[in-house]
Amino acid sequence: MSNERLRTQMTTRRVTTLDVATALQVDPKTVERWVATGRVPHQRHRLATSELLGVEETYLWPQLLTGDGSRGSSNSEVVAVYPHRGAVPGELWDRMVEQVQSEVDVLVYSGLFLLDTHPGLPTSLADRAARGLRARFLYGDPDSSTVAWRGEEEGIGENLAARIRLALTYMGPAMGVDGIEIRQHQSILYNSLYRFDDELLVNTHVMGSPAPSNPVLHLRRVEGGHLFDHYLRSFERVWVDAAPVDRAAAS
């Protein structure tokens, strides 16, 4: 079984097989075998590789923790678990937003923080959509009973609906752009989803607790994994029943 986590991290950090081989003073074919066959290197090579790629040794070779290579694919999807959204490194959000090339899927009630911290995102996505990027955004319907209930649960009342309307206003530059779709849903969310290409942040929802205070899973899609696609299927279920939003409705 190939080591998709190692392959993906090398791609993300723009490190080639030759780069790793040179840094570790090994034959490039040795590094190729680590990737292609899932062979686990000697400890000194594992430590040097993880330092070069900026991740923990057990992230690249999770079987060191489990002792069971058969669980590797699904285990390898979990990059990190953060105790709350504020603990997610800003650099991670920046990298996902700036480097996305193909697909964006966002499922939220308001997700206003994303636009507050990346105000150029709508314009940037509109520009990249002209080069083939596809983006889908699902916001809560501010007039729905679901949003009203969630606002009361979080202790912010009508402010949640106001935040949704503000987010839709900020998304104006992306509305009506080919390749970008924005819809409103009335679903009860158990988590918010932020998918940028093959990376996904899952902000869990906890009863009575606002989204920023809740744990976040960082997943990365790997061949044979289950979690990434499992969450994306939930996005698709909400998408089917959601109503399109146009610029006039959002203004």
Contacts of 137 (CB under 8 A, 6+ apart): 104, 106, 108, 111, 171, 174, 180, 181, 182, 183
pLDDT lower than 50: segments of the chain: 67-70
Please indicate, yes or no, if residue 13 is contained in any of the structural domains. Answer: yes
Return the ∠ at Cα 163 (arms to 158 and 167), rounded to 5°: 155
On whether residue 128 sits in a domain, the answer given is yes
What does the pLDDT read at residue 250?
Answer: 60
Assess if residue 70 is contained within a domain.
Answer: no
Element (H, E) at 217: strand 216-220
**Looking at residue 221, what is its pLDDT?**
87
Bridge partners of 182, per DSSP, are 137
- What pLDDT, on a 0 to 100 scale, did the predictor assign at position 73? 52
pLDDT for position 228 = 94
pLDDT reported for residue 69: 45
How many domains are there within the chain?
Answer: 2
> 57 and 85, same structural domain?
no
Residues 93 and 35 in one domain: no
Q: Kindly state whether residue 54 falls inside one of the protein's structural domains.
A: yes
Q: Are residues 100 and 175 in the same domain?
A: yes
CATH number at residue 18: 1.10.260.40
Residue 183 β-bridge partners? 138, 244
Quote the pTM value.
0.75
**Residue 123 sits in the same domain as residue 216:** yes
Residue 12 confidence (pLDDT): 84
> What pLDDT is attached to residue 96?
94
Which residue range forms the structural domain that includes residue 39?
4-61
* Predicted local confidence at residue 8, as pLDDT: 84
Question: pLDDT tens digits for 178-210?
Answer: 999 999 999 999 999 999 999 999 999 998 888
Q: How many CB atoms lie within 10 A of CB 190?
A: 10
- Report the sign of the C-alpha dihedral through residues 143, 147, 152, 156, in that order: negative
Same domain, 200 and 83: yes
Quote the pLDDT of residue 103. 98
Tell whether 126 and 175 lie within a shared domain. yes
Cα 92-97-100 angle, rounded to 5 deg: 110
